[in-house]
A and B are shown apart, each in its own frame.
Chain A
Amino acid sequence: MQRREFNKMLMLGAAAGLALPTLGRASASAGNAYDVPRFGNVHLLHTTDIHGQLNPIHYREPSVNIGIHAARNRPPHLVGEALLSQFGIAAGSREAHAFTYLDFVGGAEHFGKVGGFAHLATLVKRLKANRPGALLLDGGDLWQGSATALWSRGQDMVDASKLLGVDVMTGHWEFTLGADRVTEIIENDLAGQMDFVAHNVSDADFGDPVFEGHTLREINGVPVAIIGQAFPYTPIANPGYLTSGWTFGIQERELQRKIESVRADGAEVVVLLSHNGADVDLKLASRVVGLDAILGGHTHDGIPKAIEVENAGGMTLVTNAGSNGKFVGVLDFDVRDKKIRGWEYRLLPVFSDLLPADHDMSALIASSRAPYEEQLSEVLGTTDGLLYRRGNFNGSFDQVIVDALMTELDADIALSPGFRWGTTLLPGDTITMEDLMAQVAITYPATTLAERSGAEIKAILEDVADNLFNPDPYYQQGGDMVRVGGLKYSIDPMADAGKRINDMELGGKPLTPGGRYRVAGWASMDPNADGEPIWDVCARYLRSQQTLPPVTPNQPVIKGISDNKGISAA
């Protein structure tokens, strides 16, 4: 009895990862904070959703990330104090700053920025030095999210990730560069150095695989299969014309067959490098057998521990490694006699100040930015308030975007996509063109202005709400709620599809189904959309403001939810 409890304690210790024990408020002594003890003989390092961020940034984690049904009050749907208490993280600590929004400005000023490839490179080198044979896996959304990634058509990120030593990757926003560009990069740049794997993308006519589905690597004599799972809803969440002729999907049955085939080929460890999103991964892990781990991304959830999911074949670990270069996941397996005897997982926050910049990477970043330096550094204004995006509903940076759309396009209502990428600016920061592009750098930036009926507007809001709050994660797309300017509304996440959005009001008057309203938007899915790019609209608005006062995000009234740990108490 006692022994079992002792074992359980050990297990908890392993699961907790005991991340960065020496990182307190004092940062000076943190020189060897990243000397993470090695465990076992199979080592996988994991980054995901870096979104083109080559330089250190701030990224505020959400204060609203509601989980309902099976996801209620469970990771990743815990915010603030609930997250700290679940994972045993001390308030005010470095980890608390990394994993939560709590006292975000104070923490950002005290602990500094996170991520940045020069710092990431130093960390990866240290981890690899202590873990011979380790592979670095990237879960995608690597080549998009910044001005330089857009203007170089992904090239700056391709070059930097090669130098970083990414061994295997899968994709999502990569595909918005267009099928031809993706194919070109894989054939010209990645060949021989990095495997791009995606078992769930096939030719729409004949069903032939478009990419390698997996790669089989040996780590310290142990055959390890890494299967790629691209974002299953790419042609739906992003314009389908960009991946014309390719079909995606979760492809659960095909995955099961793939796992069986790589096991038959001798794989002793099988992991899925996934861009499904955490909730989809948790469901998938409960239904598919034979995966040792799912290393997940897409939903940008920094989950401090691996989640053990039981299934008919045993147990699968599910992780999610946050976004923007802010975290590196370290998964160690102890494999002996073809069996996994133990594991450890840590999600390390990447504090730029604690990791000296790698010289070669700094030089590469400088040279890739050089042609664009003048455009990047243009100051558009200054912000008096905190500007962030992430959260189920409007963030303050989204508010600036919808305000810009309504002002510049003379619209009653503005809609802006619920993307989860987009970095954070602190009060007093200048807003440069580079900062703006970190919110809007996409290959289909056209703004739109259309007259729409109240009924159509409700239908749009309901459609997106169902992508977020469908009871079945397989029917969710993993973005946040569409950002709404001008219009007030209430949302009942637990209600049936089509009945979640109510109390819609514009200028104090109820929206009528037959009324006509001027609605502005951007990121049009129409290949013929030719409206002014969103960055020009926002830049004009910001220049006219010069100093942007703190903005209050237009948040809906949330109904039908109580005691939900995915909503901050504050």
Chain B
Amino acid sequence: MSTEAAKRLLWLDDVSILFGGLKAVSHFNFHLKPRELCGLIGPNGAGKTTIFNLITGVYKPTSGAITLSGEGITQHPPFEIVKRGIARTFQNIRLFGELSVLDNVLISYHMKIGYNYPDLLLRTKRFVTVEADRVKKALSLLAIFGLDARADLVASSLPYGDQRRLEIARALATEPKALLLDEPAAGLNSREKVDLMETISMIRKRFDLSILLIEHDMKLVMGICERIVVLDHGEVIAEGSPREIQDNPKVIEAYLGVD
């Protein structure tokens, strides 16, 4: 692998997608470096979430290629892409509402092969140890988010801010190399937003991963991202450090319009 390629954990090469003739994302070129915290911003309907759906395999691009650590993942189904190291959260929280907080996290550990049908039917020693290990791991992960004491509760009964955190915890349990956060601050109050900023920085250090962040809260994005990509009408209109983006006339135009 060349040094240039090594810098790219995730690479979207000229990706476009059409929805009934409408270009939702057009010729999108983007790469995410290892351990980078990158922001993806743009007005409503710019195509941000569509890009998440393309990366995670929910949508297949009309043209272009997506590569993760040098391996093409363009045509993989979502669950294969998770296995290869991309996890996500959702704009409108999608927890397993009727299941417990603990089960929400345990589900993410599922793909690590631990035991098979005979094991689980006969409750072998292997089954018992694997299950106990997973519960232990899940609880310590929940502890990071201050949710371990409420592991028994039904997920939908948690307060909104905690549901957001649980979603992040659940995504982290898949042990990703890249974490995609879709508007994690939406609906949080200013105190919770500050907490969230700290949490995101902490996650990156502690779990040693790259984060791609969609967010409308500029203070948050400017505060923690190293690099920001601005999207409008499915196209990249600017890219650079928070400072560069703040002063970019095109960005101001996209958000405020021109007279």
Q: Answer yes or no: are A and B bound together in one complex.
A: no
Q: Which residues of A contact B (CB under 8 A)?
A: none
Q: Which residues of B contact A (CB under 8 A)?
A: none
